[in-house]
Structure 1
Amino acid sequence: MSSIRQRNKDLILRAASEEFADKGFAAAKTSDIAAKAGVPKPNVYYYFKSKENLYREVLESIIEPLLQASAPFNQDGQPGQILRDYIHAKIRISRDLACASKVFASEIMHGAPHLAAEQTAQLNSQAQHNIACIQSWIDQGLMAKVDPKHLLFSIWAATQTYADFDWQISTVTGKASLDDADYQAAADTIIRLVLKGCEVAE
């Protein structure tokens, strides 16, 4: 793919993430997406064919990072380090892909009507694997007897808050946007709560 073509696609995808995050799928307009991307409106249809296809591509842009965040669970290691790495990865997604994360969260809250069955299966398979890992650590006495599913849900909620509820966070902190130190503090706090609360062996 030519560099100009890829650049235009990236600009449109980024603009679409922002528009879909702000307005939702139904209210977002391709004309606004094109204007924000700085390209003619026909370019949106040239590269993505339809608004729905563009929306699906925004969803796809977050699926792979979400799956990659679970990479620590797919290799051998100590529970404490695996959970640390996972939480850091989830925080990075909230920092670097905040708009796509909001779009994904909204899609899930609406029953995931645009999420492909294959993507749903991938995400669920990875979640089940992560849950099984946590249960194995519990069975080995490496951490407290917590419910693995609800631990995973809690980590999701705690990390995704920094993307999905940025307005509330900005209001409370009095900062227009968080900096790297804030995200590091967030990760450190969540890690401490998880490891200490679950009595994870280190």
Structure 2
Amino acid sequence: MPETRIQSRNRAAILDAGLEVFSRYGFRGATLDQIAGEAGLSKPNLLYYFQSKEAIHRALLLQLMDAWLEPLRDIDPAGEPLDEMLDYVRRKLALSRDYPRESRLFANEILSGAPHIDDTLASTLRDLVDGAAALIADWVAEGRLAQVDPHHTIMSVWALTQHYADFDVQVRAVLDTDDPLRGAEAHLTKLFDRLLRPGA
């Protein structure tokens, strides 16, 4: 039986509240009472939709993983390799700008040893990364990208883009700015252009 509009709204409110609470306090520090309060619902009402804190957390992580991996899926094998890779960098940076809470939620899960999504990391994520790495390896072999390690190139993109969301407080303090991403896209585009351009 499909959800009613109110049920859909409440479920979305719980997930948004969970995202806020988990990204602020981490999984261990978050409580169902905090999430219910943030969502504007009673705890029994929250438990009607999700049976536990773990269920909310896993739902958020799986939803996030799908969105987080979309830029990697969008790399076009028929496209110009350097353009595709630079677009990938820009899309990943945009995710850090637009979804910082989601990025921190994922980072906290990984730092905790990925207890709620280790199965997904070892299957869905690894399969997708292996596929993208194989494509990059083909482009390298064809001389259309510089001689780089495909897997480490992908992880370098993650590190250099997600840092802006995961370490937002640090970046703001060091740069003394309210816009920590100002200039980041131009800098990272230039950096990866130099790394990946054939003959560079």
With structure 1 as the length reference, what TM-score do the two structures score? 0.88
Q: Distance in 2 between matches of 1:71 and 1:48?
A: 30
Which residue does 1:188 correspond to in 2? Answer: 186
4+ long deviations beyond 3 Å: none
**Please, which moves more after superposition, 5-14 or 125-134?**
5-14
* Contact 1:63 1:119 (8 Å CA) reproduced: no
Cα distance in structure 1, aligned partners of 2:196 and 2:76: 21
Amino acid at match of 1:21: S
- The amino acid of 2:197's aligned partner reads E
Identity across matched positions, percent = 35
Of the three residues 133, 142, 145, the one matched with 1:143 is 145
Equivalent position of 1:198 in the other structure: 196
Contact residue 62 and residue 97 of structure 1 kept, 8 A? no
Q: Which runs of 5+ in 1 are unaligned?
A: none
Matches for 1:77-116 after TM superposition, within 5 Å: 77-115=79-117
Q: Does 1:153 align with 2:171?
A: no
Deviations 1:175-202, CA, capped at 9 Å, x for gaps: 34x38xx36x32232121111122248x
Match of 1:164 in 2: 166
Relative to the length of structure 2, the TM-score reads 0.89
Q: How many residues are aligned here?
A: 197
Deviation at 1:165, TM superposition (A): 0.6
Q: What is the distance in 2 between the residues matched to 1:54 and 1:121?
A: 21
1:79 and 1:200 in contact (8 A); partners too: no
Post-superposition offset of 1:20: 1.1
Q: Runs of 5+ in structure 2 lacking a partner?
A: none
SS in 2 for 1:73: coil
Structure 2 residue corresponding to 1:16, chosen from 18, 30, 53: 18
